[in-house]
Amino acid sequence: MTDWNSIEAADCAVPADRPVDDLVSELSRALADPDPLVRDGAPYAVLATWIARGTIGTSRRLELGDEMAARFTDPRVEARTFAPLVLNMLLSAGDFKAGWVDSFERWYPAERDLRGHDGTLGWLHAVAHGADLLAGFGRHSEVAPERMLNLAAARLTAPTDHVYDQLEDDRLARAIALVLTRTDLSERDAVGWLDPIADRFGSDRISTPVPAHISNCLRTLRLLHFLADRGVRPTSELPAEPVHHREAVKSATAAVLDRIVRR
């Protein structure tokens, strides 16, 4: 096996004795490894660097994206949940295929293992990693922003017994806010995705303890309301961008929160 730690230590220089495509195939396998020290260690850093630098050719990057899209149906959770990270790297490098969006859309609300971290497998983070890709697709010119907003609603209304415990609600709220910075969003689309959330949670009686899916939804929408008011940073280095239709989004989010908590 390639010594990825040494390659990372050498500023991710490409080994001269191996074809890049073969190395990328090994990295792809490593990003699905059940060992978190492999999956989330040097191979992750090397792959991210090579994609950002353009070290990997365009055709191989697109093949890699197809591999990640297919991985959404992998039986192993760690393989599924690291696929969106790689796809987001590729999006950032300017790569895009419509089929990647379709595969992601099928997986994200259907994923049932929502653990943020596992003592053996390490970081899983399905909701958070998926949220990052949702933001990437949602800000892409070839993806209708309302499609990703509706996908966020589907994730929030999917039944689960798991309470977000590793800031997944923050990551999802931030992703939604980033999609809402799209200036081509109509006001109706900027708030319409909240309707199924209000319909799903606004009529049920809240039992005690509060069900996990309702707690997750409430916490996500509360932060979204804050971000709609203050704006959201695409990265830590960039200034905050305003949410389009800011007042309408704030009003609609507050109305949904009020409808849920006053039942």
**Are 18 and 57 spatial neighbours (Cβ–Cβ below 8 Å)?**
no
Amino acid at 184: D
The encoded tokens of residue 13 equal 């220089």
In three-state form (DSSP H/G/I as H, E/B as E, the rest C), the secondary structure along 133-189 is HHHHHHCCCCCCHHHHHHHHHHHHHCCCCCCCCCCHHHHHHHHHHHHCCCCCCCHHH
Give CA–CA dist 169/243, Å, rounded. 18
The encoded tokens of residue 17 equal 């004795």
Question: Given this model, what pLDDT does residue 205 score?
Answer: 60
In this predicted model, what pLDDT tens digit does every residue of 82-121 receive, in sequence order?
A: 999 999 999 999 999 999 999 999 999 999 999 999 999 9
Give CA–CA dist 116/139, Å, rounded. 25
Question: Given this model, what pLDDT does residue 203 score?
Answer: 65
Question: Given this model, what pLDDT does residue 202 score?
Answer: 73
Question: Which segments in the chain show pLDDT lower than 70?
Answer: 203-207, 262-263
User: Helix 168-179 vs helix 126-138: angle between axes, to the nearest 10 degrees?
Assistant: 10
